[in-house]
Amino acid sequence: MLGIGAIIGTGIFVLTGTVAAVNAGPAVVLSFVIAGVASVFAALCYSEFASLVPMAGSAYTYGYATLGEVFAWIIGWDLVLEYALGAVTVAIGWSGYVVSLLKDFGIVVPPALSAARGTVVTLADGSTVTAVFNLPAVIIIAIVTTLLVIGIKESANVNNVIVFVKVAVVLLFIVGAAHAINPANWHPFIPPQEGPGIYGWSGVMTGGAIVFFAYIGFDAVSTAAQEAKNPQKDMPIGIIGSLLICTALYILVSGIATGVVPYKLLNVPDPIAVAADRAGMGWMSSLIKLGAIFGLSSVILVMLLGQSRVFWSMSRDGLLPQFVNKIHPKFQTPYLTSIITGIGVAFVSALLTVREAGSLVSIGTLLAFVIVSIGVLVLRLREPNLPRAFTTPWGWFVAPAGAFSALYLMASLPWRTWERLIIWFVVGIVIYFAYSVSHSKLAAKE
């Protein structure tokens, strides 16, 4: 349940459509399979890391404890990309579903205020409008940031309800839209290649790298290694089980969506809503949109919460200034990190398209997986006697396969995404050598 709840979110509700329309066509189902296989390798390596380091802080804490400060900084800086831009991607998808739901009730949000800056929106009468910024995305980030500053104790019960709603929405779509499939929409299954990463087999691989975003969240299972009764048996069942269930759901949803709507028409922030409307699902269509909005809201909350905790962990180790650690006197939350993160995320979500944000999150996460997979092998050589609650099965195959598959998917992403990643890392390295090296706890010990 933990794994399925963390994994099902933006990937299935948002990126399914844009990858089908621009990269893979109906073969988006193969993109999901490829991303799922890479995720299994990485997840098993993650679990071994998690069982070594029984602390919060995700890959950053594992890296700090096992590979040293420089690698920890790289992973931490990388996680900013994963969590903050993950929240951006989800907020853009949330905006698409809210606009679509409001339209069902006769409320029209001006197209100029509900898409990425510069996006040309075609109206029903054939005229076009150029978007200025995405107002609903900014609004949801502001609401979630306020909740995080005031302090929200998201109980397991609330999370389980939202997991149930998300899975119910996905199943409702599968059952309700299947009757409207037109098999002609699946031909050609892999459209002929039109350029690098645009259809053909290279499009399927690029699609796999982008929909990889859909699998982010399984590390939530790996962080629970300490609570498992029998980690060596329970962890692989939890991880591989949740990944297999989610992959099956993703294949069904993307297959139905491309069967109901010609794939070139799915390049929208709310493809499942478009497919539900096309399938004539009536009131069920509005229900699906409402469920997607609930599900996406919880993902934004978790991602912004995770982001503020990573910043907090980095400042605890002296890698970021101490004011980041500041706790609100009344609410007892790390309010400054929450506010700074919220402003940054709101600004970016107003301007980027869901595809640009999703590609950046994928490349950042894939890089973290490369480091984690290699880190597992390094530790096997350096510290073979460390007590491991969970050991990756066939480690000498799984860890290199995890690193290689993540690198291969990274190589399939467009150069523009690589450029942004390189700029991000140059900024990170400058901050590290200008501030972090001399202020870290390790420097203080020396």
pLDDT of res. 105: 85
pLDDT of res. 154: 52
* Whether the Cβ atoms of residue 116 and residue 351 lie closer than 8 Å to each other: yes
Between the CA of residue 381 and those of 106, 373, 378, what are the distances in Å? Answer: 63, 13, 5
pLDDT of res. 66: 66
Look at the block and give the residue holding tokens 């800086």: 77
Q: How far is CA 418 from the centre of its chain?
A: 17
At 317, give phi and psi (nearest 5°). Answer: -85, 5
Instruction: Give the tokens for residue 175.
Output: 């059952």
Which of helix, strand or coil describes residue 62?
helix
Element (H, E) at 122: strand 120-122
Tell me which residue of 119, 121, 100 sits closest to 109, measured CA to CA: 100
Beta carbons within 10 angstroms of residue 393's beta carbon: 11
pLDDT of res. 225: 55
Domain that holds residue 276: 2-445
pLDDT of res. 355: 75
Q: How many domains does the chain have?
A: 1
At 276, give phi and psi (nearest 5°). Answer: -65, -40
Q: How far apart are CA 125 and CA 103, in angstroms?
A: 16
pLDDT of res. 221: 65
pLDDT of res. 256: 92
Task: Look up the CATH number of the domain holding residue 154.
Answer: 1.20.1740.10
Q: Average pLDDT for consecutive 10-residue bins of the chain (446 residues)?
A: 71 82 90 90 80 59 71 81 83 87 85 78 75 87 86 61 82 87 88 85 89 75 62 74 87 91 85 86 82 83 77 79 76 79 88 79 83 83 77 86 90 86 89 83 60
Element (H, E) at 250: helix 231-260
